């Protein structure tokens, strides 16, 4: 991967690099952390980790990464370890103008630890943290640099072509849907299987199920007409015994109502106003189809298995996650601030990307959905353009013998 990120030679006097992890864990977030620690070490700068993100740092909880990860072997093992090794949080910083006291305490902590650069690995809400820290820092002429490193299985960050964590989660989804299809096709009877896949507002992860060639893929970007779905399934069942449907947990009807909310009481919200859990879309649709068509139905929720499935991690995903962590350190040490170090795609085949910087304020709290042009006209599938986008991020799936006719 090439870079359009500035580099600079620094000395140990440059101060400490502070790094934290935030939001949901992934199979690749620790690869970014390992990249940060490695790049800081190469630059002769000591690295400090936040325990449980910015919230833990404000409470005085840190770890010396040079002591905890003393050699190449420990960094390599960290890069292949799933979940957030430092721990995470979902803590929303207040607006700097409304609560400057919080920032005064926080910046005093940064000074106490001798921090010159802060890197925060996370998604939309984590970029909000970087944007607010950077805005306050500028208002008080702080020399500390703040850089975001992207991470989310949802793949919904603006600017960057894709996000570390997505490729591995998409590989788990595609592998699981393909294997579930074989399971469902064992018996000589009519059945519909709904595989519920994460994705609150963006259908990137559910779209990756198309690599397994399911019959239908339902995304939140297009309102779902339940009656049209039933009729489409009726026609498919007239042609075959088993029908597979990949469905995003965030699918809504034309009024904007989530199907998962139709399945039962709504979930509580987190500090950023998001529903803490979305669950039930597959169950609701399975019950509806069974009632209308009388066939066997099943709802399978992949749930949190999608986040940290290191046993099917994408090699491309782990590599790019590490490289973005490294590029983020180099950018911060070169004086860049209030930016996110993301990816720009240069070519689908052969696959080529480069690291580049994005204005973090143009990323924070925004959602990048699947382009409508990459969704089929009827809203129940995806196009070849979407598949060409996803394939290199996932890698080749394990070979299988074609089923009998």
Give domain status of residue 399, yes or no: no
Which one from 154, 156, 215, 317 is the annotated catalytic residue? 154
Give domain status of residue 352, yes or no: yes
Considering the domain architecture, whether residues 126 and 203 belong to the same structural domain is answered as no
The pLDDT tens digits for 102-142 are: 999 999 999 999 999 999 999 999 999 999 999 999 999 99
| CATH code for the domain of 47 | 3.40.50.450
Per-residue confidence (pLDDT) for residue 7, from 0 to 100: 56
Per-residue confidence (pLDDT) for residue 13, from 0 to 100: 41
> Is 154 annotated in the active site?
yes
| Residues of the chain with confidence (pLDDT) below 50 | 9-13
Give domain status of residue 402, yes or no: no
Considering the domain architecture, whether residues 9 and 125 belong to the same structural domain is answered as yes
Give domain status of residue 199, yes or no: yes
Considering the domain architecture, whether residues 323 and 223 belong to the same structural domain is answered as no
Considering the domain architecture, whether residues 131 and 197 belong to the same structural domain is answered as no
Give domain status of residue 160, yes or no: no
Considering the domain architecture, whether residues 125 and 252 belong to the same structural domain is answered as no
Considering the domain architecture, whether residues 47 and 145 belong to the same structural domain is answered as yes
- Dig out the tokens for 130 from the structure: 């970087």
| CATH code for the domain of 250 | 3.40.50.460
Per-residue confidence (pLDDT) for residue 266, from 0 to 100: 55
Considering the domain architecture, whether residues 51 and 190 belong to the same structural domain is answered as no
Considering the domain architecture, whether residues 329 and 247 belong to the same structural domain is answered as no
* Closest listed residue to residue 219, CA positions, set 242, 248, 194, 190: 248
Give domain status of residue 202, yes or no: yes
Considering the domain architecture, whether residues 111 and 188 belong to the same structural domain is answered as no
Give domain status of residue 159, yes or no: no
Considering the domain architecture, whether residues 329 and 290 belong to the same structural domain is answered as no
Per-residue confidence (pLDDT) for residue 386, from 0 to 100: 98
Give domain status of residue 400, yes or no: no
Boundaries of domain holding 104: 2-153+312-362
Considering the domain architecture, whether residues 264 and 316 belong to the same structural domain is answered as no
Per-residue confidence (pLDDT) for residue 4, from 0 to 100: 73
- Dig out the tokens for 259 from the structure: 């199907």
Considering the domain architecture, whether residues 16 and 105 belong to the same structural domain is answered as yes
Per-residue confidence (pLDDT) for residue 10, from 0 to 100: 45
What is the count of structural domains for the chain? Answer: 2
Per-residue confidence (pLDDT) for residue 171, from 0 to 100: 98
């Amino acid at each position: 991967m090439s870079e359009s990120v500035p580099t600079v030679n620094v000395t140990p006097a440059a101060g400490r690099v502070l790094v934290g992890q935030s939001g949901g864990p992934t199979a690749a977030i620790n690869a970014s952390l390992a990249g940060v620690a490695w790049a800081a070490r190469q630059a002769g700068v000591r690295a400090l980790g936040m325990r449980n993100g910015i919230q833990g740092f404000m409470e005085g909880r840190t770890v010396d990464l040079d002591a905890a990860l003393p050699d190449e072997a420990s960094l390599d093992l960290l890069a292949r370890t799933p979940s957030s090794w430092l721990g995470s949080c979902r803590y929303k910083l207040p607006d700097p103008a409304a609560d400057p006291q919080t920032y005064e305490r926080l910046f005093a902590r940064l000074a106490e630890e001798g921090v010159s650069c802060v890197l925060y690995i996370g998604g939309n809400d984590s970029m909000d943290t970087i944007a607010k820290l950077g805005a306050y820092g500028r208002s008080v002429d702080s020399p500390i640099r703040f850089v975001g490193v992207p991470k989310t299985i949802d793949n919904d960050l603006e600017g960057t072509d894709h996000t570390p964590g997505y490729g591995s989660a998409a590989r788990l989804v595609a592998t699981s849907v393909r294997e579930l299809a074989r399971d469902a096709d064992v018996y000589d009877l009519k059945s519909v299987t709904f595989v519920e896949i994460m994705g609150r507002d963006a259908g990137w992860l559910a779209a990756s199920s198309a690599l397994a060639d399911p019959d239908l893929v339902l995304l939140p970007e297009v309102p779902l007409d339940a009656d049209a779905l039933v009729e489409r399934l009726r026609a498919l069942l007239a042609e075959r015994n088993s029908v597979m449907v990949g469905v995003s947990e965030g699918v809504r009807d034309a009024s904007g109502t989530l199907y998962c909310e139709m399945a039962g009481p709504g979930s509580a919200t987190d500090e950023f106003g998001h529903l803490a859990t979305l669950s039930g879309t597959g169950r609701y649709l399975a019950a509806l189809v069974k009632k209308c068509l009388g066939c066997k139905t099943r709802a399978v929720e992949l749930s949190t298995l999608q986040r940290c499935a290191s046993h099917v991690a994408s090699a491309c995903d782990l590599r790019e996650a590490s490289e973005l962590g490294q590029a983020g350190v180099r950018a911060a040490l070169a004086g860049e601030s209030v930016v996110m170090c993301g990816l720009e795609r240069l070519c689908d085949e052969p696959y080529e990307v480069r690291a580049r910087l994005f204005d973090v304020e143009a990323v924070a709290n925004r959602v990048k959905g699947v382009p409508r042009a990459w969704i089929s006209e009827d809203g129940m599938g995806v196009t070849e353009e979407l598949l060409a986008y996803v394939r290199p991020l996932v890698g080749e799936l394990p070979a299988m013998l074609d089923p009998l006719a």
